[in-house]
A and B are shown apart, each in its own frame.
Chain A
Amino acid sequence: MRAATLSSVPMSAGPDQSTTAPVLRVSGVRKSFRELEAIRNVSLDVSANEFVSVLGPSGCGKSTLLMMVAGLIAPSDGTISINGSPVTGPRPEIGVVFQQPVLLPWRTVLDNVLFPIELLKLPRAQYEHRAMALLAMAKIDDFANHLPRQLSGGMRQRASICRALIHDPSILLMDEPFSALDAITRDEMGVELLRIWQANRKTVIFVTHSIREAAFLSDRVLVMGRRPAMIIEDLKIDLPRPREIAMMESEPFNQHVRHLRKSIEASHAQ
Chain B
Amino acid sequence: MLSRLRKSAGELGWPVGISLVLLGLWEAAVRGLGIRSIILPPPSEIIEAVIARRELLLAHLWPSLYLTVLGFALSVIGGILVAVVITYSSILRRTFYPIIVVSQVVPKISIAPLFIVWFGTGTMSSLLLAFLIAFFPMTINSALGFQSIDEDIHRMARTFMGSRWQIFWKIRMPNALPYIFSGMKISITLAIIGVIVSEFVASQEGIGYLIKLAGGLLDTPLMMAAITVLSISGLVLYGLIALAEQHSVYWQSSSDIGGIAGG
Contacts and interface: CB of A to CB of B under 8 A. Distances in A.
Interface of A: 67, 70-72, 90-92, 94, 96, 98-100, 102, 104-106, 115-116, 118-120, 147, 149, 167
Interface stretch (B67-75, B138-146, B166-174): B166-174
Interface in B147-181: 150, 152-153, 155-163, 166, 170-171, 174, 177
Contacts of B156: 96, 98, 102
B174 A104 contact: yes
29 contacts: A67-B155, A72-B158, A72-B159, A90-B158, A90-B160, A90-B161, A94-B159, A96-B156, A96-B159, A96-B160, A98-B152, A98-B156, A102-B150, A102-B152, A102-B153, A102-B155, A104-B153, A105-B251, A106-B174, A106-B251, A115-B170, A118-B166, A119-B160, A119-B161, A119-B163, A120-B160, A147-B251, A149-B251, A167-B160
Main SS of the interface on chain B? helix
Interface residues of B, number: 20
A149 B250 CA distance: 12
A91 B160 CA distance: 7
Nearest to B248: A106
A53 B155 CA distance: 22
Contacts of A100: 152
B167 to A, nearest CB: 9
Contacts of A149: 251
Given A90-B159, A94-B159, A106-B174, A119 B166 contact: yes
A90 B167 CA distance: 15
B171 A104 contact: yes
Nearest to A117: B160
Contacts of B174: 104, 106
Contacts of B160: 90, 96, 115-116, 119-120, 167
Contacts of A67: 155
